[in-house]
Amino acid sequence: MQSTQTFKKYKPYPLVPLAHREWASNIITQAPIWVSTDLRDGNQALVAPMNATKKLAYFQKLVEMGFKEIEIAYPSASQMDFDFCRMLIEQNLIPEDVRVAVLMPSIEKHIKRTFEAMKGAKKVTMHLYNPTADNQRKIVFDKSKAEIIALAVEGTRIIKEEAAKFKGDVMFQYSPESFSQTELEFARDVVNAVISEWMPTKNAPMVINLPNTLEACTPNIYADRIEWMSKQMLERDAVILSVHPHNDRGTAVASAEMAILAGAQRVEGTLLGNGERAGNVDLVTMAFNLYSQGIDPMLDIYNIDTILQEIITLTHSTIPPRHPYVGSMIYTAFSGTHQDAIKKGMEFQKVALDGYWHVPYLIIDPKDIKRDYRDVVRINSQSGKSGVAYVLKEFYGIETTKSMQIEIATEVQRLCDEKGIEVNAEEIFKVFRQMCKL
């Protein structure tokens, strides 16, 4: 093995001084406020960002799924983004119950341009961000902590001034971008300075969004940070605490879930986790995680295969076969003992009286998302007699005795070994016919 010390250039992530940690004893009992950022954060990561026609088709899918808050653009970034906002507003394409969100930097001309883009919108979230992490302050902005706070407060002040003239309902959102690498005390100071400038009330709350911009710590530490911030924030009752997890360490879903345990009320993410680098948090997986715990996900995920087919066409992406809940292989077992348990579980499920799902190895009932029970078992050299019996029953309605199953499975196994790949139902039926001399 090559000897290398390069790992030493990475600093370990600091622990959080949390005296009485509460989140670890909590459970999730309801869906958070979902915010899709597919059309902004998701879109900015595509090789070919969507044009207005594609964005509109995507927007309509998000509405169909039941999203009530959708980040649609960074309007001051490009004419395309600006025009997309105008199109939605002027053609009255935003349903009454949907709030659209737009992102802007703390730069006066950008803020004014953003308000111009949103003129006529009935419900809008004006989302201000500026990076706050040490490396951003020093390297990118060459600003002191006090200057970074001043930048955030000045942006807030300008938005407040513009919002006072705006006809629609404005929700203000602030993100200390790169929160995940910002010293906690400083993140608190920036956020509290912004809250003090905006002065939200219980009846007119604002959003504080704490992004895991570059996911750099384990989900438990992110949760500690969220709980710490939640306890240190001014006007907590007038703040909707939001999170925006990214997936750099591959743990965005866990981070988001633990953040909810720690007090987050709102989650920003994308369908299938599209987004910068390793992506944003995957809201489809999050919604199904709630669903599989008996919690209403508050999103229409029942036609998810149809919706996602349209989404991946728009973004030129694919769904990995092992993607949780929605991959093509998620409800399929090849291995014999799993197939045996599934077969027995399916039989038990037919007579179960308690209304709950009991089938081993299937996280949810595939029928809930209109998948076919036939695909639950596929046969290769790892399969056994129960699997073969399952296929004969599902595809041909053939009941087999245990001794027949052993005989057929032995021959099917020989065939699989010979072919080195799975055998299909037709081939299994052929073996059955030969054995039974039909």
Ligand X SMILES: CC(C)C(=O)C(=O)O
Ligand Y SMILES: CC(=O)SCCNC(=O)CCNC(=O)[C@H](O)C(C)(C)COP(=O)(O)OP(=O)(O)OC[C@H]1O[C@@H](n2cnc3c(N)ncnc32)[C@H](O)[C@@H]1OP(=O)(O)O
Instruction: Give residues in contact with ligand Y (CB under 6 A).
Output: 41, 44, 74, 77, 105-107, 129-130, 140-141, 177, 213
How many C-beta atoms surround the C-beta of residue 119 within 10 A? 14
Task: Work out whether strand 99-105 and strand 69-73 pair parallel, antiparallel, or are unpaired.
Answer: parallel
DSSP 8-state symbol, 373: G
Angle between helices 385-396 and 425-436 (to 10 degrees): 100
From ligand X, ligand Y, none, which one binds at residue 257 (CB under 5 to 8 Å depending on kind)? none
Nearer to ligand X, 262 or 389 (CB): 262
CB nearer to ligand X: pick between 103 and 267: 103
Nearest residue (CB) to ligand Y, 74 versus 325: 74
Report which secondary-structure segment, H or E, holds 222: helix 219-232
Q: Taking the CB of residue 163, how many other CB atoms lie within 10 A of it?
A: 17
Taking the alpha carbons at both ends of the chain, their separation in whole angstroms is 59
CB of 19 to ligand X, least distance (A): 28
Q: Give me the least distance between CB of 140 and ligand Y, in Å please.
A: 5
CB under 5 to 8 A by kind: which of ligand Y, ligand X, none does 175 bind? ligand X
In angstroms, give the least distance from the CB of 216 to ligand X. 12
Nearer residue to ligand Y within complex by CB, 18 or 214: 214
CB of 347 to ligand Y, least distance (A): 50
What residues line the site for ligand X (CB under 6 A)?
41, 103, 129, 175, 177, 209, 211, 213, 244, 246
In whole angstroms, the minimum distance from the beta carbon of 253 to ligand X comes to 16
107 binds, among ligand Y, ligand X, none (CB under 5 to 8 A by kind): ligand Y
**Smallest gap, in angstroms, from Cβ of residue 155 to ligand Y?**
7
Enter the tokens of residue 51: 């044009």
Query: 141 is in the binding site of which of ligand X, ligand Y, none (Cβ under 5 to 8 A by kind)?
Result: ligand Y
Report what 209 binds from ligand Y, ligand X, none; CB cut-off 5-8 Å by kind: ligand X
* SS3 assignment, position 73: strand
Burial class of residue 350 (count of CB atoms within 10 Å of its CB; 0-12, 13-18, 19+): exposed
Rank residues 175 and 381 by Cβ distance to ligand X and give the closer one: 175
